[in-house]
Amino acid sequence: MIPGDGIGPEISAAVMKIFEAAKAPITWEERNVTAIKGPGGRWMIPPDAKESMDRSKIGLKGPLKTPIAAGHPSMNLLLRKTFDLYANVRPCVSIEGYKTPYTDVDLVTIRENTEGEYSGIEHMIVDGVVQSIKLITENASRRIAEYAFEYARNNKRMSVTAVHKANIMRMSDGLFLRKCREVAENYKDIKFTEMYLDTVCLNMVQDPTQFDVLVMPNLYGDILSDLCAGLIGGLGVTPSGNIGANGVAIFESVHGTAPDIAGMDLANPTALLLSAVMMLRHMGLHDHADKIQTACFDTIRDKKVLTKDLGGSAKCSEFTAEICRRVQDLS
């Protein structure tokens, strides 16, 4: 458990309380991941955090602050590199009770998290001309495609759509697409389609129900996953998980640290809670996951006790208590 900064500690405490009420078989080890300078001058996360993670393999993370001019890279990036978190999974399901113009959204975006346009390789060739390199490799593309199909199979999803722009970026997205096609051969039970990025965007805002699981390289994934989050109500209610090599998985809330409401018991723990539910499913504890998720959705649907960002006026602790109560009722 990495509480994070800002509202991180409050929402982490809320989640731990709800898990206790649900009697979930989880023990939490809290760690801080503020970067420190290791031997050789490279920035790294504290060794006890790394050791804890390597041992337990599963983590839950609150929002982390990226201080400007602190000298070290963003902590999220550091975590990603340390544990080789190659897949970012974001399931987007419409929440009953939180009204958005889009209802019945139920899709999952799986985004390659290590390369693509975010390789960070840029240089100024001559003054006024900048070149940024987008890197696509066979291994990374195959790995993410395999994960996508495995996820679809494990979660009983019907189809996987590869999102690309191979008409313009023939070689790079072409390679990504070829790997997806190859992997699709081994998963004949799942329907595989491919669609251009612009077509997906166009259709997504008109009718999101036609999409199921989407797999794509880094940049498209970034844009599309946030687009889908916007469809269901924003980052405050969207869960997210990062899967790494060696079985490591870190689940997190993707919203910011909200320093303006930190410590005032006003935060909405839904995003972190739903990420924790994702974590339970990943670990195979489906009953507990279902219980907590039902309790959370029921609370939001009833609209009696809601935090400010969901349209209510309750405090974080009241919201948490309500969910705990429902969880206990359901057990």
Partner 1 sequence: MAAHSAVLSASKIMNPFWVGRLGNTAKPPPAKYGGRHTVTLIPGDGIGPELLNHVREVFRFACVPVDFEMVNVNSALETDDDMNNAITAIRRNGVALKGNIETKHTLPASVKSRNNVLRTSLDLYANVMHCQSLPGVQTRHKNIDIMIIRENTEGEYSSLEHESVSGVVESLKIITRNNSIRIADYAFKLARERGRRRVTAVHKANIMKLADGLFLQCCREVASGYPDITFDSMIVDNTTMQLVSKPQQFDVMVMPNLYGNVVSNVCAGLVGGPGLVPGANYGRDYAVFETATRNTGKSIAEKNIANPTAMLLASCLMLDHLNLNDYASLIRNAVLTTMNETRVTQLCAEQCCCEVARGNLCCNLTRIHISFPAKLGNEMRVHTIHF
- Rank residues 105 and 316 by Cβ distance to partner 1 and give the closer one: 105
Please name which of 56, 66, 68 lies closest in space to residue 30, comparing C-alpha atoms: 56
Q: Which stretch binds partner 1 (CB under 8 A): 30-38, 217-225, 263-271, 301-309?
A: 217-225
Q: Is 191 in the site for partner 1 (CB under 8 A)?
A: no
Q: How far is the CB of 71 from partner 1 (least distance, A)?
A: 16
- Rank residues 275 and 320 by Cβ distance to partner 1 and give the closer one: 275
Long-range contact set of residues 35-38: C-beta below 8 Å, sequence gap at least 24: 35/72, 35/73, 35/75, 35/78, 37/72
Dihedral (C-alpha) 45, 13, 261, 46: value to the nearest 10 degrees? -10
**Cβ-count burial of 148 within 10 angstroms (0-12 exposed, 13-18 middle, 19+ buried)?**
buried
Q: Which stretch binds partner 1 (CB under 8 A): 97-105, 149-157, 257-265, 298-306?
A: 97-105
Q: Is 207 in the site for partner 1 (CB under 8 A)?
A: yes
Q: Which stretch binds partner 1 (CB under 8 A): 106-114, 170-178, 270-278, 321-329?
A: 170-178
Q: Is 13 in the site for partner 1 (CB under 8 A)?
A: no
Give the total of residues touching partner 1 (CB under 8 A): 58
Q: Which stretch binds partner 1 (CB under 8 A): 79-87, 229-237, 273-281, 289-297?
A: 229-237
Pick the binder of partner 1 from 50, 56, 58, 135 (CB under 8 A). Answer: 135
Contact yes or no for 300/306 (Cβ under 8 A): yes
Contact yes or no for 61/241 (Cβ under 8 A): no
Q: Is 210 in the site for partner 1 (CB under 8 A)?
A: yes
Q: Which stretch binds partner 1 (CB under 8 A): 5-13, 31-39, 124-132, 181-189?
A: 124-132
For 205-238, letters b (16+ CB in 10 Å) and e give eeebeebbbbbbbbbbbbbbbbbbbebbbeebbb
- Rank residues 10 and 252 by Cβ distance to partner 1 and give the closer one: 252
Q: How far is the CB of 220 from partner 1 (least distance, A)?
A: 8
Dihedral (C-alpha) 199, 200, 203, 206: value to the nearest 10 degrees? -130
Pick the binder of partner 1 from 13, 58, 227, 321 (CB under 8 A). Answer: 227
Residues from 99 through 118 that contact partner 1 (CB under 8 A) = 100-102, 117-118
Please name which of 40, 34, 117, 121 lies closest in space to residue 71, comparing C-alpha atoms: 34
- Rank residues 128 and 284 by Cβ distance to partner 1 and give the closer one: 128
Output the DSSP codes for 197-251. HHHHHHHHHH-GGG--EEEE-HHHHHHHHHHHHHHHT-GGG-EEEEEEGGG-EEE
| Residue the block writes with tokens 């759509």 | 161
Q: Is 139 in the site for partner 1 (CB under 8 A)?
A: yes
| Residues forming the site for partner 1 (CB under 8 A) | 100-102, 117-118, 120, 122-124, 127-139, 165-172, 174-175, 195-199, 201-207, 210, 219, 222-227, 229-231, 233-235
